[in-house]
Amino acid sequence: MKLRTVGAIFRKESLVTLRDKRTLIAMIGIPVVLYPALLIITSQVAMLHLAQLEEWTSRVAVRSEYGQTVARWIEAFPRVQIVETDEPQADLLKGEIDAVVVVKQDADAVLREGGTLLIVIEYDSTEARSREALHRVSEGLRATQSRLLENRLASIGIALEFVTPLRVQEANIAPAARIVGTMFSVALPMIMVLMVGIGAFYPAVDLTAGEKERGTFETLLSTPATKFEIVCGKFLTVFCISMLTGMLNLASMAMTFTFHLSELLTKLQVGPDRTPVQFPLGIAILMVFLLIPLALFVSALMMSVAVLARTFKEAQNYVTPFFLVITIPAGLAGMPGLELTTAVQFVPIVNIGLLFRELLTADVAPETVFNVLLSTTVYALLSLACATWLFQREDIILSEEKGLPVTLRRSRIQPRSTPTPGMALTLYTLVLLLIFYVGVQVQSRDILSGLLITEWLLIGLPVVGLLWYVRVDLLSTFFLRSFRLDGAVATAVIGLSWLVLAFQLGIWHSSVLPMPEEMAKAYLEAMRLQEANILVLLGVVAVSPAVCEELLFRGAMLSGLEKRLAPWALIPLIGLLFGLFHISIYRVVLTGLTGVVLTYIVWRTRSLWNGILMHFVFNGVAVLIAAERVPESAIKTFERLTTDQAGLPWWLIGIAASLMTAGIGYLQLQYPRPVPDSSD
């Protein structure tokens, strides 16, 4: 790689990008103009509203059939006016009065006899004037209550202090800087992540999909510069603009809040010392260093997503949802109770957001900062490697593959052997939404019939129906043309071996993230395992998922994504999506690993029948065990081998691992490395 070539590409792309008005607005206009304007306007409006509220006179109606004693008390309260009305509640809802005081007892008689007078204050919580009237009347009645109590005690010779043994005062010792830091910590992490993303958005889209749309990528590739030099130059441009946007945002927020909030907090009397608020310089410098890996991470991910598009508009549609992916984790930093634990320090974006919050509100240990910086840097390097790999593939850079046509007439749709990656991911998203909005509802009413509806009507039918409608070759997509007996035997060996290993992994997993007993018990009871017919159970829980879920994951998604992804990325990705598909944090790891094994078998053998077979074996054995339909002798043998803490003996785990390795080795030797169909 020649640094001079990279620098030339970087200077050229930076100059072109900085000439774009959209980039300048996102990079300079938003942080420099928007923050001060928003803060000044909102604070001035708030102060004006508070001032007007203090000057208002609260209009209060008194409903009492026993004289005007309470009315005389209220009339003496500051900024409270007694008004007469025939329909007080109706007028209160109309906003013509602010509160209604209801007295259903004779105040003079109750107080003369030493009783307790009940007073009800009716108000409208949706109106600011009504809430202020409630506050004024309540404060006035509390003062009246204290005066009446003191008179009662004086009449019998008891001091007020005798009936108030405790006097509690609250003292907020938090300095103003920490108060402001707490205010910052709610929104600053999300704003910083969002602004870094906004800074990278237009350059990432324009330097990838924009180049494709303008037809200049071919010209750039024809130069002596290598693909790696080109991607480095483009990435440096996106990163620098993203980083500059983040720094401008941080500087603008620090100066705006420092200069303006100091005056505002003094007026509101926030903080014990009422000293001017200063944004700590050391924390600001540390945040700048933390922005570097964050900007690297976000820029590389955005470029990886945008380069998959063919036009600028299509890239915008791809990248826009990406903002949700990065802002939602950042928003978690504002949630109370979430701490920056050792495990959370390695969760991308969430760790940065929580570290920003900790820096603003408390002292942070150096090792915590180091862990967050290290983990974010690692994620940034991984995303950069992914972007570099994508940029070096001409089938992606120069792709002219088209998705669905504009027409909805099936006869005009161009036939294809397998779905596109977009089709595969669209099917996954569609089925997941159907399960979320429909499947969960039908399963909550009756679990068995709900599962049957979910598998066949919400998974199987949409997958087969939509692929048929867009004229995709179903036999090629679902790998239904080939089946070999030796592959089925190897699959059975791998499946049974994995069943043993998965049982042991489940024991280890439960020690780290145990499923609540109530949840597991409720699910088993809902299945009515002891009452249901075993053939019905196997049909619903074993056969249906084995067919329908395999059609989606090892059929449509595997055939659709294998053109774009290498096997080392394809197989784990489909396994991960398979684990997430089951919408349970307690199952995602084991289900995802099972999905990896299933994906490898179908990918290697090019036969969905093998995936269906293993899926059925895995689910079927689990059903038989949960329903206690396994022979008693097998159960006793299994109980002798199993211990509660360690699980299975190591020799059994070794045998299962050896058999699984042998099965995989046989597939490696007897089946050639698959070559995806690239005819479309």
CB atoms within 10 A of CB 326: 21
Together in a domain, 113 and 224: no
Q: Is residue 402 part of a domain?
A: no
7 versus 61: the higher-pLDDT residue is 61
Expressed as residue numbers, the domain containing 123 is 53-163
The proportion of the chain whose per-residue pLDDT surpasses 90, expressed as a percent, equals 23
Instruction: Provide the pLDDT confidence category of residue 271 given band limits of 50, 70 and 90.
Output: very low
Mean pLDDT of 375-401: 74
Mean pLDDT of 420-425: 84
Q: Is residue 469 part of a domain?
A: yes
Which 3 state secondary structure label does DSSP give 101? strand
Number of domains observed in the structure of the chain? 3
Domain final position from 397, 425, 444: 397
pLDDT tens-digit readout, 521-560 = 666 665 665 566 788 888 888 999 999 999 999 999 999 9
Mean pLDDT of 272-292: 67
Together in a domain, 266 and 340: yes
Together in a domain, 224 and 307: yes
CATH code of the domain covering residue 146? 3.40.190
Calpha distance 419→619 (Å, rounded): 28
Together in a domain, 91 and 13: no
CA 228 to chain centre: 33
Together in a domain, 461 and 349: no
Helices (H) and strands (E) in the chain, counts: 31, 4
pLDDT tens-digit readout, 124-166 = 988 888 998 999 999 999 999 988 888 888 888 888 788 778 8
Q: Is the pLDDT of residue 235 over 60?
A: yes
Calpha distance 375→190 (Å, rounded): 19
H/E element holding 654?
A: helix 650-670
CA 41 to chain centre: 31
Q: Is the pLDDT of residue 257 over 70?
A: no
Domain final position from 397, 421, 448: 397
Q: Is residue 90 part of a domain?
A: yes
pLDDT tens-digit readout, 559-607 = 999 987 889 889 999 999 998 888 777 778 899 999 999 999 999 999 9
Q: Is residue 507 part of a domain?
A: yes
Q: Is residue 679 part of a domain?
A: no
Q: Is residue 375 part of a domain?
A: yes
CB atoms within 10 A of CB 3: 10
Q: Is residue 48 part of a domain?
A: no
Domain final position from 351, 373, 397: 397
Together in a domain, 439 and 572: yes
pLDDT tens-digit readout, 456-514 = 999 999 999 999 998 999 999 999 988 899 999 999 999 999 998 998 888 888 877 77
Together in a domain, 195 and 71: no
Q: Is residue 564 part of a domain?
A: yes
Together in a domain, 461 and 350: no
Q: Provide the residue type at 673 as one letter.
A: R
pLDDT at 573: 92
pLDDT tens-digit readout, 62-109 = 988 776 888 889 988 988 999 988 898 899 998 899 999 999 888 888
